[in-house]
Amino acid sequence: MIRVVIVHQTRLIASLIAVSLDEETDIQVLGQASSQAEALALIENSTCNIVLVSATLPDNGALSLTQSLTHTHPEIKVLVFGVPKSKSLIVQYVMAGAAGYVLQEVSADRLFENVRAAYEGKALVSPDIAAAFMEQITELAHLSSQVHLDPSAYEALTPREMEVLELIDVGLSNQQIAGRLFIEVGTVKNHVHNILRKLDVSSREDAAAHLPFIKSDGGDA
């Protein structure tokens, strides 16, 4: 049985999607959430294997939730729905760990098809998006050849600094990071300063560019 949690900031829309999904004999909706925090609390107490998260969650919520679940619940497949037809945005979701995506103009039948594909570990990707993935892989390979990161640099990052770096990577400001982590903005600035110093870079963007290589080398700090 495919067990789904739906995350959408508008409860009415989430309820309508839930009704449609529940009509499918192999799909069961376990619950609905309207925010990232509510979703995480709900997922902790459920046996879901698919999280259907809206791309319209505010403050990059879909991207942040995808990254969070990828780290804490790798067994759960995240499917982002209502995605604009933007190659760069779709690549961001997949790089964050999403098992698939559903464009905002697709029909309910296509939504069901994508849910089943994600559950089975399959990816339904259009040719142009597949080409974008190849471009991203090529770009990462090129960047990898230019980046020479001493393992001791990322090993020196504290768990909190890794959290801050991951939130920088999804585009959050210091103020947004402070709100997400329930800490003072000044504390965030100190963490950012330490991250730049330890990675020997001069900008937030350069620091975030190291993240894929830190993760691939197992740097969990």
Torsion of Cα atoms, 80 then 84 then 87 then 91, to 10°: -20
Are residues 88 and 110 in contact, defined by beta-carbon separation less than 8 angstroms? Answer: no
| Residues pairing with 6 in the sheet | 32, 52
Pairing mode, if any, of strands 50-54 and 2-7? parallel
Domains of the chain, earliest start first:
2-127 (3.40.50.2300), 149-216 (1.10.10.10)
Q: Give residue 185's pLDDT.
A: 94
Supply the mean pLDDT for the chain: 84
pLDDT at 219: 45
Q: Among residues 46, 44, 13, 12, which one has the least CA distance to residue 29?
A: 46
The token duo for 54 is 């809206």
Of 208, 206, 128, 127, give the one whose Cα is nearest residue 167. Answer: 208
Task: Please state the rounded mean pLDDT for residues 171-190.
Answer: 93
What global pTM score does this model have? 0.63
pLDDT in tens, 100-148: 888 888 888 888 999 999 999 886 665 555 555 556 555 555 555 555 5
Q: 119 Cβ partners below 8 Å, 6+ apart? A: 2, 49, 50, 77
What is the Cα–Cα distance from 161 to 78, expressed in whole angstroms?
25
The pLDDT of 45-61, averaged and rounded, is 92
Our CA dihedral for 83, 87, 89, 95, rounded to 10 degrees, sits at: 110
Which DSSP string do the residues of 10-47 spell out, in sequence order? SHHHHHHHHHHHHTSTTEEEEEEESSHHHHHHHHHTS-
Contact by Cβ (8 Å): 219, 151: yes
